[in-house]
Amino acid sequence: MEKLFQEYAQTMLAIGSRIDADVMWNCVNLLKTCKEAHIMAVGNTSPLAQYMGFRLGRLGIKSTYNVAAEYFMNHVNLADEDDLLIAISQSGTSRQVIQGLELGKEKGLKSIAITAFAQSPVSNLADYVLLSTGKEEPFSFYKGYAHMNETAVIDALLNFVTNEELIKTTQADKPEMILSEYKV
């Protein structure tokens, strides 16, 4: 048991050392200054878009996210120039996410990719890439389906985005206060 968690810890450290600090801070600034963030993910990565969107809302940052590609494509199509795209694709080859990035590029939108593969269509289209792997590995369709690495990258990004003053000013924590009456 301990060995497995040691491997997880080593992976997290490797991811942290591989992410370029300047890229991370640029992503943080884009999130802090965007009008709205449009999060795109498909397949078994979709729950990460929902997680990130929920967390952004609690931080006072408006976002759109949905498990259906038709919805995020619609939001990207209607996006304003001050909006931001966030593409989450472990493989970097998810067709609908690629199409969303292409549409966003046509509209002149800035984009962030969270992916395990630096040499992928998603990475090539994004303005900023946050790699979710500790080491470069060849692409394989026989991948793992765990998303601990992508979740860690999302959490690190959101940790740096957190602004207590903005949360208070926008009352972004109000839903938590309202819903807390249902907790035991």
Is the pLDDT at 161 greater than 70? The verdict is yes
CA 123 to CA 115: how far, in whole Å?
A: 7
Is the pLDDT at 170 greater than 90? The verdict is no
pLDDT digits (tens, 9 = 90+) for 42-96: 999 999 999 999 999 999 999 999 999 999 999 999 999 999 999 999 999 999 9
Number of CB atoms found within 10 A of residue 177's CB: 9
Kindly report the backbone phi and psi dihedral angles of residue 113, in degrees, each rounded to the nearest multiple of 5, phi listed first: -115, 140
Q: In the prediction, which pLDDT does 169 show? A: 74
Across the chain, the runs of DSSP E, i.e. the strands, are 37-40, 63-64, 84-88, 110-115, 128-131
Q: For the chain, what percent of residues have pLDDT higher than 90?
A: 76
Q: Residue ranges per domain, the chain?
A: 2-136+144-182
Is the pLDDT at 41 greater than 80? The verdict is yes
Enter the tokens of residue 111. 């984009």
Burial class (CB in 10 A: 0-12, 13-18, 19+), 26: middle
Q: What 3-state DSSP class applies to 87?
A: strand
pLDDT digits (tens, 9 = 90+) for 143-155: 666 789 999 999 9
Is the pLDDT at 136 greater than 80? The verdict is no
Burial class (CB in 10 A: 0-12, 13-18, 19+), 140: exposed
Is the pLDDT at 102 greater than 80? The verdict is yes
Helix count (H) and strand count (E) of the chain? Answer: 9, 5
**What CATH code is assigned to 2-136+144-182?**
3.40.50.10490
The band of 139, judged by pLDDT with boundaries at 50, 70 and 90, is low
First and final C-alpha spacing in the chain: 32
The band of 140, judged by pLDDT with boundaries at 50, 70 and 90, is low
DSSP secondary structure letter of residue 120 = S
Q: In the prediction, which pLDDT does 141 show? A: 54
